[in-house]
Structure 1
Amino acid sequence: MSDQKEIELKSPPLDSVSSVTFSPSNSSHLLVGGWDSCVRLYDVTANDQKTKFDHKAAVLSCCFGDSTRAYSGGLDTWVREFDLERETTRVLGQHAESISRVVWIKDTNNLVTGSWDRTLRLWDPRAQAPCTATHPQPERVYCMDAVGTTIVVGMAGRHIYTYDARKMAEPLQKRESSLKFMTRAVACMIDGKGFATSSVEGRIAVDYLDPSPEAQSAKYAFKCHRQTVDGVDHVWPVNALAFHPVHNTFASGGSDGTVSMWDHTAKKRLRQYPKYKEGVAALAFSADGAKLAVGVSYGWDEGPKPSAGVGKTAVMVREVGDEAKPKAK
């Protein structure tokens, strides 16, 4: 039975979804990056693909700057800027290795990119030489998110660094992940007080930026995206996290094909949506919190699929209602 609160976008990526992100000012505009080497711009209200930008290799991350500019990075190592109105592309520069994450910092009008070359790079698209700084990291950058001027970076080796985008010469904090296995995703709380990380081993950790013992005593981790089948516990990677821009609750998506909504303060799951036919690779809320975009595709967690081929790739857009509101205190 079809879900009346959810639509499936037409003309989805031809290979696995890597990134979904809504415009900061238009909740109908959604960018989708994929392993088919394309960034697509959709009007989700009209269910129409507005334009498409081709790359030389798989796109791992994309983001909006303002409503008319977007950025991407991926396996071809190039940082690209897109003029969404003129449908033109400009290469800002590149990393030495694949770019895992691109994040726009609205408060400073800068782009931050993280790479497997163990660097963060800061970009000012208005400058004649757009790459304004390179900051070495102890390991490969796997994931990154920002709120205000605070940037949280998840790396190999379970390194979690936080930075102030206005003065990035040194990290604000250097931490070791609360999770025992590889960090898969990070998302910042909307109120700027903390962040959530997830791992390949079916766990999510909730951390707080305040270094005081009182604040640190509130951090915790929990198991999720697990299934018991015939007495055997199946554990799935948690691939995506996204905080609701109004309620500060968060959504998680896993290779088990489910999306759950969590109240991290009450330590409760608010809702689990119906299961998808493939894993959940990416999540994003619209700026008004009324929509949730879900990138659905096989994540190769179990190696190559049988000869029948890779499962269907889809981008779903769901209406978000009261299930995102935190539990009453």
Structure 2
Amino acid sequence: MAPSTQFEVAQPPKDAASAISFAPESPTRFLVSSWDKNVYLYEIATSDEEHTANLVQTYTHQAPVLDVCFGANDNEAYTAGMDWTVRRLDLTNSTQTVLSKHAAPVRCVVYSPQQSLVVSASWDSTLHVHSPSSPETHLTIALPGKPHALAASPTKLVVAMTARLVHIYDLPTLSKALATLAQTGTQPADIKPWQQRESSLKFLTRAVSCMPSDAGYATSSIEGRVAVEWFEDTPESQSRKYAFKCHRQTAPDEEGGGDVVYPVNALAFHPVYGTFASAGGDGTVALWDAEAKRRMRQYQRFPNSIAAVDFSRDGKFLAIGVCPGFETGMEDYSGQGQTSVFVRELGETEAKGKGSK
């Protein structure tokens, strides 16, 4: 079994990282979006048995970029920005096309390869559902609260909002509604969530990630907790959901002792084993076995808060965006010159859970 290795990206963003996304085809390409108004494309290379992550291209936007995801292939990406726009980015020629414009900054964007849909969530409390093949039209879905996190499984879309609201949409249903809009020019009036839930977490949701098995999802909060839930709405299935404390440190006795609680800023499920990574304001990344309800390992602490994580599509790499967090107490917050991106090459069974094959 090859040992685990970890290396740092040589040319990281100039300000705080907001999201990381690995390519759908190549396991060595990934994007990082940043508050410095840029999206960065990196390629992991191997030379003399050593890994490096080299900057391939920088894509400049008009405002800070809050989220990024790849599209149908390695040369297509979508961005969500503070300029209120959802953009399609051609990574080969750097062409940017505005898919739609919200009425406030766009917090999240996801791409569903199964349905060929791009979904964006904005602080104007709406979702926009786009089809890349028909960029001139999109569905607009009103939300009951301000969205803070968004994730897609093969058939479901999970939206986490203020007031502990969680809406789950059926992606095939959204695809049919968009097709109806394209054919008739009229949006169906009754686009409703497949399920409406109240979060198991008592405080603001910071991140959400869906299981690759399409069975459920995990959410995290600003209060150092993670919840794991399943989609199936049966008493048996719902009895399996649970929440747990994490990303906490014990304060020194001279400071009164007790737990220092950090936000859990990012979650990512392993695409092969179905285990997941959590990353927090305490500067640590932990791997969890969702089925066995246990922590598998916690990595050595990074120099700052962790804002974003993602696994490569083959599960061999974990990219980690590190930058100062608001929990550091900085009066004039800035990630300028203090942002790093690390890549960990996982050992063969490093992310393998107890019940994984």
Give the alignment's TM-score, normalised by structure 1: 0.95
Contact conserved, 2:4 with 2:344, CA < 8 A, in 1? no
- Equivalent in the alignment of 2:266: 240
- Per-residue CA deviations over 1:249-297 (Å, capped at 9, x if unaligned) read 0000000000000001111100101100001100100000000010001
> Which of residues 210, 216, 224 is equivalent to 1:194?
216
- Secondary structure of residue in 2 paired with 1:323: coil
Aligned residue runs from structure 1 range 1-329, under 5 A:
5-45=5-45, 47-65=53-71, 66-127=73-134, 129=136, 131-168=137-174, 169-230=191-252, 231-304=257-330, 312-321=338-347, 322-328=349-355
Q: Which runs of 5+ in 1 are unaligned?
A: none
Residues 298 and 311 of structure 1 are in contact (CA less than 8 Å); yes or no, is this contact kept in structure 2?
no
Contact 2:15 2:334 in 1 (8 A): no
Tell me the alpha carbon deviations over residues 18-49 of structure 1, each in whole angstroms, 9 at most, x when there is no partner: 00000000111110001101011111225221
C-alpha contact 2:324 2:335 (8 A) present in aligned 1:
no
Farther-moved stretch of structure 1 (245-254 vs 131-140): 131-140
Q: Structure 1 residues 37-46 or 96-105, which shifts more?
A: 37-46
Query: Does the Cα contact within 8 Å between 2:43 and 2:55 map onto a contact in 1?
Result: yes
Q: Would you say the 8 A contact 1:278–1:311 is kept in 2?
A: no
Unaligned runs of 5+ in 2: 46-51, 175-190
Q: Is 2:14–2:335's contact at 8 Å kept on the other side of the alignment?
A: no
* CA-CA distance at 1:320 after TM superposition: 1.4
Q: Distance in 2 between matches of 1:308 and 1:206?
A: 32
1:4 Cα shift?
Answer: 6.7
2:187 corresponding residue in structure 1: none
Report if the CA contact (8 A) 2:323-2:335 is conserved: no
Query: Does the Cα contact within 8 Å between 2:34 and 2:64 map onto a contact in 1?
Result: yes
| Larger Cα-atom Rg | 2
TM-score of the pair, normalised by structure 2: 0.88
Q: For residue 79 of structure 1, what is the amino acid of its counterpart?
A: V
Distance in 2 between residues matched to 1:176 and 1:268, nearest whole Å: 24
Query: How many Å separate the matches in 2 of 1:307 and 1:193?
Result: 39
What secondary structure sits across from 2:173 in the alignment? Answer: coil
SS in 2 for 1:167: helix
Say if 1:9 and 1:44, in contact at 8 Å, map to a contact too: no
Structure 2 residue identity aligned to 1:120: L
Task: Give distance in 1, aligned partners of 2:333 and 2:280.
Answer: 24
Bigger fraction of residues in helix: 2
Local SS of the residue matching 1:27: coil
Over the matched positions of the two proteins, sequence identity in percent amounts to: 45
Q: Offset of 1:87 from its aligned partner?
A: 2.1
- Say if 1:309 and 1:19 are closer, same or farther in 2 by CA, change over 3 A: closer
Q: Which residue pairs with 2:178 in the alignment?
A: none
- SS of the counterpart of 1:166? helix
The 2-side partners of 1:308 and 1:194 are apart by: 35
Count of aligned positions: 326
* RMSD, aligned CA: 1.8
Q: Secondary structure at the match of 1:214?
A: helix
CA deviation after TM superposition for structure 1 residue 124, in Å: 1.7
Distance in 2 between residues matched to 1:314 and 1:307, nearest whole Å:
16
Shift of 1:56: 1.5
Q: Any idea what the Cα deviations from partners look like across 1:115-140, whole Å, max 9, x if unmatched?
A: 111011011222251x4200000011
Q: CA deviation at 1:52?
A: 1.0
Q: Could you tell which deviates more after superposition, 114-123 or 300-309?
A: 300-309
> How far is the alpha carbon of 1:107 from its aligned partner?
1.2
Measure the CA separation in 2 of the matches of 1:98 and 1:307.
20
The CA deviation at 1:181 is 0.1
User: How far, CA to CA, are the matches of 2:101 and 2:297 in structure 1?
Assistant: 41
